[in-house]
Chain A
Amino acid sequence: MLTVVGACVGCFCNMQLRVQESSNLVMHMLVLYGNTGCKMDLTCNGNTVAVIGKMLPECKYTPCIEEHNIHAIFRWTSVWSILQSSVRLDRALQRGPSHALPGVGADTVAMPTADCDQATSHFLQETGLTLSITTLGTCIYRFGKKRHRDPCHADAHQQQHCMPSHSEYSAETEEIIFHLCRYMHHIITTS
């Protein structure tokens, strides 16, 4: 049941919001949690870095700092690039095992192809992903909208704030993001 500060929605009859219309909601932060189920080699020359480097588009990698934290961070500025690379990988797998990458079979989680509409494509281009992986296998996928840094603007702090985008965002867009996340998790877990 929907409750509003302890009160039932049904008790809202006296509230006069008088809201006439609302614009569509747009996601500005989306966090998913998963686990690889195995311990992870997160060192600079380790397996996870090698797998991500081989199977996914270029990203910024921040290694674990010994004694301080036990997670490594991988950042992609645009999840659209991951979607496109997954389509290329799917095609490589369809061409046969000689093109496939080691440890990745045809049962790899199929990605929604680049058939998504222009608004979704635009939204995904503007959306970044920060993946945090711990040595115990915990993965936190954080998708976020950030304004592109423009050196002409002086107030860098303000630029980093999450601002609502005018991009269209729908349940379909969200489903693509969820699917993309499952795809990446499959890559990290099974490659």
Chain B
Amino acid sequence: MAGLGGVAAVCDKMLRLHAELPGWTTMQRTPSTRKLTEMINANIDDLPREVLLLNEGKSLQVVSEGNILNIHILKTCTKRNEEHCVLEESEWTCWERAFEVLWEQKFTNPESFNERTYYRQRYVEGAQVGKIDDDVQKVGVDRVRAAGMLAECSSTPEMSRHKRTKRQKIACREENCVGRVKVTTFMVFVLESTTRVFFVSDRIAARNGERNNFSVPKAVNICYTGTVTGTIHPTAISAEMRQAKKRGPCGSEIHVDTSMGVMQIFGNNGGSRKITCKAFLNIVEANYIVRRVCGMV
């Protein structure tokens, strides 16, 4: 339980990019960069704090029980708005039988339609996930060893792509399964000039992600000033407009509330009256309201 009266600090782990200019930048929020942040949050203890990017990029790998996490940082972007992150997720299943180790890679990204690829691993007795003559090990899937072995062998000559035979298809049953590994790969494309990345904690965490997405600036409140001349009978107008008070807000005599904004008419000053149009989104709408009110004569 948190201390009485204490406020728990909300921290978010994030990836900070350092390049030519002082300070740091982050990548724009997208569904993939959100997953990257979630991954950093979950694995912050296993990730290095700082990664130097001397050449064209750097790869990191975190192997844990039943999971492999790959992070490839690639310096390919010439502009900051090209920076992005690609996420690839796959589930690997290993079968071991009759001096043969077979792996199935099933892509789990929604756009991959559960595509499956098979690999055969070079068999070395005793080095595999389970021992074929040991029933206990065969039943209890050794997830830790499976992840370690996959991390060691994938993308090496130890493992070759393979078209599964009919006999292997029959053999790939649950009782022959010796391990399952979830592999998550992030490809992070950053500016060419990036020199370092930091995995750090940020004290300020965004609770409402959607609100903090990129948006082009849009007008939210524009106020205008102008003058009108003519004979105005404020009392009659106030009554007509059911203005409760004798005067409108901000010292105005007349207050016209519209769906486009508010128009206020101030006191007579030598035959001329100041008007303000508040909370409009553009001058075209403000002019329209002024014309409309002035036209009511």
C-alpha spacing A190/B218, complex, angstroms: 18
C-alpha spacing A4/B220, complex, angstroms: 21
Residues on the B chain within 8 Å of A48, using CB: 23
Residues on the A chain within 8 Å of B212, using CB: 35, 37, 136-138
Residues on the B chain within 8 Å of A103, using CB: 19, 78-80, 191, 193
Residues on the A chain within 8 Å of B78, using CB: 103, 105
User: Is A47 touching B222 in the complex (CB atoms < 8 A)?
Assistant: no
A51-92 CB mask vs B (1 if < 8 Å, else 0) is 100100000000000000010000000000000000000000
Cβ of A176 < 8 Å from any Cβ of B?
Answer: no
The closest CB in chain A to the CB of B233 belongs to A16
Cβ of B55 < 8 Å from any Cβ of A?
Answer: no
Would you give the shortest CB distance from A166 to chain B, in whole angstroms? 11
How many A-B contacts are there with CB distance less than 8 Å? Answer: 215
Cβ of B226 < 8 Å from any Cβ of A?
Answer: yes
User: Is B225 touching A182 in the complex (CB atoms < 8 A)?
Assistant: no
Would you give the shortest CB distance from B262 to chain A, in whole angstroms? 10
Cβ of B237 < 8 Å from any Cβ of A?
Answer: yes
For chain B, residues 22 to 36, give those with C-beta under 8 angstroms from any C-beta of chain A.
Answer: 22-29
User: Is B241 touching A4 in the complex (CB atoms < 8 A)?
Assistant: yes
Known: A25-B290, A102-B21, A171-B284. A32 touches B218 (CB 8 A): yes
Would you give the shortest CB distance from B205 to chain A, in whole angstroms? 9
Cβ of A156 < 8 Å from any Cβ of B?
Answer: no
Chain A CB within 10 Å, residue with most, of B221, B283, B284: B283
5 residue pairs A–B, Cβ–Cβ below 8 Å: A22-B290, A25-B226, A28-B225, A33-B218, A169-B283
